[in-house]
């Protein structure tokens, strides 16, 4: 610990803990220069990780798909993540783990020979929709200038840093006096936004895109909660014009949970404000954060810290 | 200089020169975590940069397209690049300049507010095709499992680190006992490979894809040289089956120049070996590297170094 200030967040790089703001990776890591990496983000809420094992499952699957070999075991990764939150002293945190292909130390341009790397950090919880806007909701647009990278090129179910399309969407949203882009695929079906899945309540059915998007853990939680609440919900091919007919729209993400979309392309959604289905699912979503079946308390592992450390 | 060992290459990070192997960037730079960046690579050959101003033009255009603001002027960037090669003591070098969106220091997730960053490095010249294989040529495949990211999602003319599709292609090539993938677009037209443009000599005409690929400086040089040599050359929509009919195929890149493709999908190309048009253009390409109209000598700027520095 030795006096390092972790209050702005903690990071884990090359086997050592450092303040997040000081954390640095090699300029020549192909995780940067080729975006050859996968990652995952877990939320910590009220001192507990939410669905940590599901995030670890997805992260490990992503590594397998990209043929990356994690230098740490799953138990070691879990312990690093818990330790990051402890060091940062955070009750609510945004925790990210990353595996990169690593550096071409031999100059052979053969990624099979690089030593893969693991990085992680925990920072104060990131609200994709600021809390003061939780009732006014998201001003979203369906982008016209950019489409989502196709799964035939980059698999969106392997969480990745290929955000060029999403960033273009973000700038288009800004240009159109909005903040949250939603991208279509080449066929005109809705995919996802810049860090969030989307849902539409259409004629009483809750619909979310079945392809072209990350299979979000929050998305999955909402599908499970909808089933439990008796709301018909389904992952489908979702053309933009069907999505537009939604009487309620919302987005889901670890960085904020269920976020009502109250404006789309400059028009109010449905009756305006936060719809009853959205509100109910949001409430149930946060309730789950105190359900021990879904949470991994950070304090739990504190006993592992040596006295005086 | 103070004793730092730049022999493996030199880098420029946050305003300071460091050995390339020691160069590090912030873990939280969105150039990494969102691949929100553009870059360019220039070759240095026999002590001179090749077409440096053309590379700087393309790099500056890329920054404008992504709405990045370079923290250094063009003159400052040029001077940094020259100094990197001088420090590394390299006659032949691979020199890369990068501009990233930077760090979200305020936690606002609004990339318009981030301070953009500039990084650069010079390392020993990278041969995409090892010199000992310059006559045996490239064993290439047209990929079956992955297609190129579409320009509607990410503009390939703005040089970027979105290599997920190219890396998938690379692994497919390895799996098929080859080394060099060539990716198609969704319509089945040839685009480019993992760091190189491609050309096919079809019925006496030299063809290269008109869209879906980087507008490479080496590609441009070859189109100019073909014109000068009286070889009909054109950028066209290039279906895979037309490409396959090429009696000569080659790839072009700063990291190696003109590289003959002698095998495609396990079959020999044309009459086998390096074809006469490929050989001629390759020869002319390297001749240009001693043409003062195309070169910027590194030694030239050495006078700018203060005595004793």
**3-state SS of A206-234?**
EEEECCCCCCCHHHHHHHHHHHHHCCCEE
For chain A, give the longest Cα–Cα distance.
61
Residues 18-37 of B with CB under 8 A from A: 20-21, 23-28, 31-36
Residue in chain B nearest A25 by alpha carbon: B24
Please give the pLDDT value at position B287. 97
Burial grade of B285 (CB within 10 A; 0-12, 13-18, 19 or more)? middle
Burial grade of A175 (CB within 10 A; 0-12, 13-18, 19 or more)? exposed
Please give the pLDDT value at position A304. 41
Quick check: A152 and B186 CB within 8 A? yes
Pseudo-torsion of CA A260, A265, A271, A272, nearest 10°?
Answer: 50
pLDDT (mean) for A49-74: 98
CA angle B97, B98, B99 (to 5 degrees): 135
- A26 pLDDT band (50/70/90 cuts)? very high
Say which of A23, A39, A163 has its CB closest to residue B26.
A23
Output the six-digit token pair for B39: 């870059």
Say which of A28, A112, A164 has its CB closest to residue B160.
A164
Quick check: A164 and B164 CB within 8 A? no
* Chain A nearest C-alpha distance from B184 (Å): 10
Output the six-digit token pair for A263: 């404006």
Output the six-digit token pair for B207: 């063809």
ipTM: 0.95
CA nearest neighbour of A184 among A248, A232, A242 = A242
Q: Encode pLDDT of A203-214 as tens digits.
A: 999 999 999 999
* Chain A nearest C-alpha distance from B187 (Å): 12
**Cα(A295)–Cα(A45) distance, rounded to whole angstroms?**
9
Please give the pLDDT value at position A149. 98
Cα distance from N-terminal residue to C-terminal residue, chain B: 7
pLDDT (mean) for A36-47: 97
Quick check: B171 and A67 CB within 8 A? yes
**Cα(B162)–Cα(A154) distance, rounded to whole angstroms?**
9
- Count of residues making up chain A: 309
* Percentage above 90 pLDDT, chain A: 92
Q: Encode pLDDT of A273-304 as tens digits.
A: 999 999 999 999 999 999 999 999 997 444 44
B119 touches chain A (CB under 8 A): yes
Per DSSP, B76 falls in state: H
* Chain A nearest C-alpha distance from B48 (Å): 22
Give the phi and the psi of residue A148 in degrees, each rounded to 5: -70, 140
Q: Which residue has the higher pLDDT, A75 or B7?
A: A75
Please give the pLDDT value at position B2. 56
Please give the pLDDT value at position A303. 40
Please give the pLDDT value at position B106. 87
Quick check: A35 and B112 CB within 8 A? no
**Cα(A254)–Cα(A64) distance, rounded to whole angstroms?**
23
Quick check: A162 and B154 CB within 8 A? yes
Q: Where do the H-state alpha helices sit in B52-209?
A: 52-65, 74-88, 164-175
> Which 3 state secondary structure label does DSSP give B270?
coil
Output the six-digit token pair for A290: 């105190």
Please give the pLDDT value at position A227. 98
Neighbours of A10 (CB within 10 A): 28
pLDDT beneath 50: ranges in chain B: 1, 300-309
**Cα(B160)–Cα(B37) distance, rounded to whole angstroms?**
7
Per DSSP, B95 falls in state: E
Neighbours of B280 (CB within 10 A): 15
Please give the pLDDT value at position B77. 98
- A2 pLDDT band (50/70/90 cuts)? low
**Cα(B229)–Cα(B201) distance, rounded to whole angstroms?**
14
**Cα(A144)–Cα(A138) distance, rounded to whole angstroms?**
18
**Cα(A289)–Cα(A297) distance, rounded to whole angstroms?**
11
The answer to whether residues B261 and B178 touch, using CB atoms and an 8 Å cutoff, is no
- Adjacent-strand bridge partners of A299: none
Say which of A149, A161, A165 has its CB closest to residue B32.
A161
Say which of B39, B107, B123 has its CB closest to residue A126.
B107
Chain A residues in contact with B101 (beta carbon < 8 A): 167
**E strand map for A185-294:** 190-193, 197-202, 205-209, 233-236, 248-253, 257-264, 267-268
**Strand B138-142 and strand B180-184: pairing?**
parallel
Q: What share of chain B is helix, strand, coil (3-state, %, to 5)?
A: 30, 30, 40
**Cα(A108)–Cα(B126) distance, rounded to whole angstroms?**
9
Chain B residues in contact with A23 (beta carbon < 8 A): 26-28
Quick check: B27 and A121 CB within 8 A? yes
């Amino acid at each position: 610990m030795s006096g390092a200030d972790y209050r702005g967040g903690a990071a884990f790089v090359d086997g050592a803990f450092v303040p997040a703001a000081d954390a640095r990776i090699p300029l020549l890591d192909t995780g940067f220069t080729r975006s050859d990496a996968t990652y995952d983000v877990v939320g910590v809420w009220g001192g507990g990780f939410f669905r940590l094992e599901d995030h670890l499952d997805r992260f490990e699957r992503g590594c397998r798909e990209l043929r990356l070999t994690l230098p740490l075991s799953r138990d070691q990764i879990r312990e690093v993540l818990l330790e990051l939150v402890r060091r940062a002293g955070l009750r609510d945190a945004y925790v990210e783990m990353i595996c990169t292909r690593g550096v071409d130390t031999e100059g052979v341009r053969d990624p099979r020979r690089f030593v893969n790397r693991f990085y992680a950090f925990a920072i104060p919880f990131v609200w994709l929709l600021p809390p003061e806007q939780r009732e006014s909701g998201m001003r979203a647009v369906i982008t016209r200038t950019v489409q989502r990278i196709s799964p035939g090129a980059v698999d969106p179910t392997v969480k990745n840093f290929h955000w060029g399309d999403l960033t273009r969407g973000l700038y288009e949203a800004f240009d159109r006096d909005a903040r949250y882009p939603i991208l279509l695929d080449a066929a005109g079906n809705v995919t996802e936004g810049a860090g969030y899945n989307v849902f539409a309540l259409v004629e009483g059915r809750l619909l979310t895109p079945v392809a072209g998007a990350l299979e979000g853990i929050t998305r999955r939680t909402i599908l499970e909660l909808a089933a439990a609440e008796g709301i018909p919900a389904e992952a489908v091919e979702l053309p933009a014009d069907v999505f537009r007919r939604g009487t309620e729209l919302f987005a889901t993400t670890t960085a904020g949970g269920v976020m009502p979309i109250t404006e789309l392309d400059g028009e109010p959604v449905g009756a305006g404000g936060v719809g009853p289905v959205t509100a109910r699912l949001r409430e149930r979503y946060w309730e789950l954060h105190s359900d021990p079946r879904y949470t991994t308390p950070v304090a739990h592992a504190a006993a592992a810290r040596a006295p005086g450390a």
